[in-house]
Amino acid sequence: MDGFEIRVSSNIKGKGLFATRSFRTRDVILEEDPLVSCQFAWNAAYSYLACDHCMRPLETPEQNARRLACKPDIVLPHADCYEIDLQTITSCDQCNLQYCSEECKQVAKTSYHSLLCYQETDAQHPINVLLDTWKQMHLPPETTSILLIARILAMIQLSKNPEVMIGKVKEFCHRSVSEDAELTHKLLGEQFCEQLSTLRELMNNVVSGEHIQEFLTQEGFNSLMALVGTNGQGIGSSPLALWVKNCLERTMSDDERAQLELFIDRLYQKVEEESGEFINTEGSGLFRLQSACNHSCDPNVEVCFPHGNHRLQLRALKPLMPGDEICISYLDECSLRRSRHSRQKELAQNYLFLCWCQRCVSEASQPECTSEEEMSDNDNDADD
């Protein structure tokens, strides 16, 4: 691996990703495709058109803007700033699921889709029953998809060497049975025991086989649910956002830039009025190298998706030297701005560890919480 390696870390997680050479701010440290990825169920239900394999949007920035703003007459300036070749879109011959290219279609078919091909119009098909049940259990905003598990199991069954594929999956598993149960409880809520049993039974109707029996037991299925809940990396893609980014990077006069920025502000205002905050094609994936990154409340790298699909990039937020551990944040930007107490509470609940990053250590003398956060936490506890 050029520029990084996985080795034992002093972090509680055990292993971590470390730099083996210097990186400057904004340098790309690595890129990788996921072992498996999937669009969120509710995201797909709300007509966010995307390749069923790589999640590349299947609409132009202008089509995207018109749909999100519910204004069919929108015309984007500088339309050449981000182009999507709609001519390469293809679909499965049996179920008509769409792909951005023949390559994605074939990869999906050989990896998992030949076992999971189904008609979306058949309400009684086991996959539709599973998805409908999942959507009632896991309302937006979504954090993972039950189809990730279905695809993992199908990949094992279809693999030329199932044991190797099982090994790749188990690289992500590193917790005890009780920890799996606690994490799954957090993911599914108070009724998780009954829900987990229901999901496992429905999954048995979707995919089965000799190579995946251990994952269809209660303990094995629980482990997979915890795996996708904690290791799943959120994926977001938007032709409109990429168009905006490319437009703003263009060289233009101050007047042109001012007019463009005003147009973009007004466009996003219209989008927000119609679609709220849910404007991206969103899903989740399992990434081997990214999942090796430990958390820091002062991360030195960020996760991004510059190619408009599920291909992940780790980009340096600050200079790194050989031997530095490469750390991302498991928390969103809003949570990172909160006190040490609130960050520690969220990490303990969602990831079962206490953070000892440099920032947390330096803030150890701070009060346990601010009055505002204490009130918010008490309100949340009362709602549980």
Residue 89 has pLDDT above 70, yes or no: yes
Return mean pLDDT, the chain. 88
Q: At what angle do helices 177-188 and 340-351 cross, to 10 degrees?
A: 110
Nearest 5°: the CA angle 45, 47, 51 is 100
**pTM, entire model:** 0.86
pLDDT of 353: 80
pLDDT of 377: 53
Structure confidence by residue, pLDDT tens digits, 269-310 = 999 999 887 789 999 999 999 999 999 999 999 999 989 899
Least confident of 163-177, 179-193, 194-208: 179-193
State mean pLDDT over 134-141: 87
Q: What stretches of 28-161 show up as alpha helix (H) in DSSP?
A: 41-45, 61-69, 102-108, 114-116, 126-137, 146-158
Tell me how far CA of residue 298 lies from CA of 30, 80, 201, 270, in angstroms.
20, 37, 42, 35
State mean pLDDT over 358-372: 77
177: confidence class by pLDDT, cuts 50, 70, 90: low
Q: Rounded CA gap, 229 and 284, in Å?
A: 10
> Which residues lie across from 15 on neighbouring strands?
8
State mean pLDDT over 244-250: 93
Q: Which residue has the higher pLDDT, 130 or 223?
A: 130
A 10 A CB-CB count for 364 gives 8
pLDDT of 371: 41
Give the 3-state secondary structure of residue 298.
coil
Structure confidence by residue, pLDDT tens digits, 193-213 = 678 889 999 999 999 999 999
Q: Rounded CA gap, 281 and 56, in Å?
A: 8
Domains of the chain: 1-33+287-330 (2.170.270.10), 52-233 (no CATH), 340-384 (no CATH)
For residue 57, the 8-state DSSP code is: B
